[in-house]
């Protein structure tokens, strides 16, 4: 396993981060613990979760199960040594199933402080290594939207300064060690950095955004921040919702797959997805590579990536995904990938 620096924190995290958003819906607690045991046996030291998981599908009856499963595993394992644990606080949502704390989950001090206490209890730990803002409080283009035509902040939009101030106090209290952002924009990241400088608050350590062969929009404005400011990318959805494995080509929907069990995720259901995915899968086959490993190896190779978050519903998938750290793409494959990207750039932002 390769390890990379988490921003300027002094922490080293595994290049592969164990994603968990199916635990509690598609995966049982026993399967979650099996994945954790195997992943840590392979050198993974980094777990990413959220108060809003599981999401495959989102449902009231499974709310908070993912953190609970992880907490039970930590208790069974016998300690926190060697675990870099990341979780998230949810911003405001239009989906009632994603409403917490009385249906008013803003990123204000009250919500953040309560969310941390709830996550600590479920995770059965005294501290969280990386506490992330799951998505901004303000209205931004995210989860597949393109651009921002006009500002749409409401009267209850929480300023970043209040969010950051609450996070800073939690760092001082020892409840979180560091914080990061997710689904954030260049302006938002620059605000966090500016306020940290001016207010002498703790510094943002990471940014967790989607990044894959079908969506390389991170490169357009955020990669320079990642490289110059040491706010590395925790890349989620590196397989573009499974599309880059090739399993959905030709309109197939395998039983038990994400498209089969969770129809609300339509981010990659766009016209350009299928032709681009087919081209990338063909490149993998031409070079004798597993399509999933080609897609993951490309993300792993980017200098602005700190860790690639993988999510598997089976142990076989997990083993193959972890194996991507041992794959070095031949120059000819990289050249072919870049040619497809020039012809079909970011079909699924």
Name the band, by pLDDT with cuts 50, 70 and 90, for residue 24.
Answer: very high
Q: 132 exposed, middle or buried (CB, 10 Å; 0-12, 13-18, 19+)?
A: buried
Number of domains in the chain: 1
CA dihedral 300, 302, 304, 308 (to 10 degrees): -20
Residue 154's pLDDT band, with cuts at 50, 70 and 90, is confident
Which domain covers residue 97, as residue numbers?
3-240+304-330
Peptide bond preceding 166: is omega within 30 degrees of 0, i.e. cis? no
pLDDT at 273: 93
**Angle, CA 66 vertex, CA 321 and CA 205 arms, to 5°:** 70
Does residue 275 lie in a domain region? no
The tens digit of pLDDT for each residue in 162-194 reads 999 999 999 999 999 999 999 999 999 999 999
**Average confidence score pLDDT of the chain:** 93
In a domain, 249, yes or no: no
Residue 250 lies in a domain: no
Q: What is the CATH number of the domain that holds 75?
A: 3.20.20.100
CA distances from 197 to 176, 204, 282, 285 (A): 20, 11, 47, 48
In a domain, residue 82? The reply is yes
Whole-number Cα distances in Å, 293 to 180, 225, 242, 324? 27, 27, 12, 5
Distance CA 215, CA 143 (A): 11
Residue 108 lies in a domain: yes
Structural domain contains residue 119: yes
Query: How confident is the model at residue 78, as a pLDDT?
Result: 83
Token pair belonging to 293: 């490993």
Residue 335 lies in a domain: no
Determine, yes or no, domain membership for 104.
yes
| Residue 256: band (very low, low, confident or very high) from pLDDT cuts 50, 70, 90 | low
Q: List, for residues 272-303, the tens digit of each pLDDT value.
A: 999 999 999 999 999 999 999 999 999 999 99
> In whole angstroms, what is the distance from residue 135 CA to residue 88 CA?
9
Identify the pLDDT of residue 73. Answer: 97
Active-site positions read 53
């Amino acid at each position: 396993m390769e390890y990379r620096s988490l921003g300027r924190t002094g922490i080293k995290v595994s290049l592969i981060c164990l994603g968990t958003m199916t635990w509690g819906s598609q995966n049982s607690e026993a399967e979650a613990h099996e994945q954790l045991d195997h992943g840590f046996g392979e050198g993974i030291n980094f777990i990413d979760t959220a108060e809003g998981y599981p999401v495959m599908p989102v449902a009231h009856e499974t709310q908070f199960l993912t953190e609970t499963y992880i907490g039970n595993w930590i208790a069974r394992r016998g300690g926190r040594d060697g675990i870099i644990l990341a979780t998230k606080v949810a911003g405001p949502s239009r989906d009632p199933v994603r409403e917490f704390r009385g249906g008013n989950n803003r990123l204000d001090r009250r919500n953040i402080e309560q969310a941390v206490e709830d996550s600590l209890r479920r995770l059965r730990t005294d501290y969280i290594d990386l506490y992330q803002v799951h998505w901004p409080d303000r209205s931004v283009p995210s989860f597949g939207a393109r651009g921002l035509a006009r500002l749409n902040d409401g009267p209850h939009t929480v300023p970043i300064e209040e969010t950051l101030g609450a996070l800073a106090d939690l760092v001082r209290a020892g409840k979180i060690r560091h914080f990061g952002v997710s689904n954030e924009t260049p302006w938002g990241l620059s605000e966090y950095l500016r306020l940290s400088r001016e207010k002498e608050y703790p510094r943002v350590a990471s940014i967790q955004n989607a990044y894959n062969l079908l969506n390389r929009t991170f490169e357009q404005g955020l990669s320079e921040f990642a490289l110059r400011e040491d706010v590395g990318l925790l890349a989620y959805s590196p397989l573009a919702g499974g599309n880059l494995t090739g399993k959905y080509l030709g309109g197939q929907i395998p039983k038990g797959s994400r498209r089969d069990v969770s129809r609300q995720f339509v981010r990659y259901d766009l016209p350009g997805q299928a032709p681009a995915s087919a081209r990338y899968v063909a490149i993998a086959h031409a070079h004798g590579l597993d399509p999933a490993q080609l897609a993951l190896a490309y993300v792993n190779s980017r200098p602005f990536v700190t860790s690639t978050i993988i999510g598997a519903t089976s142990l076989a998938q997990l083993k193959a995904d972890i194996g991507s750290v041992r794959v070095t793409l031949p120059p000819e494959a990289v050249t072919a990938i870049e040619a497809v990207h020039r012809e079909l750039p970011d079909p699924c932002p």
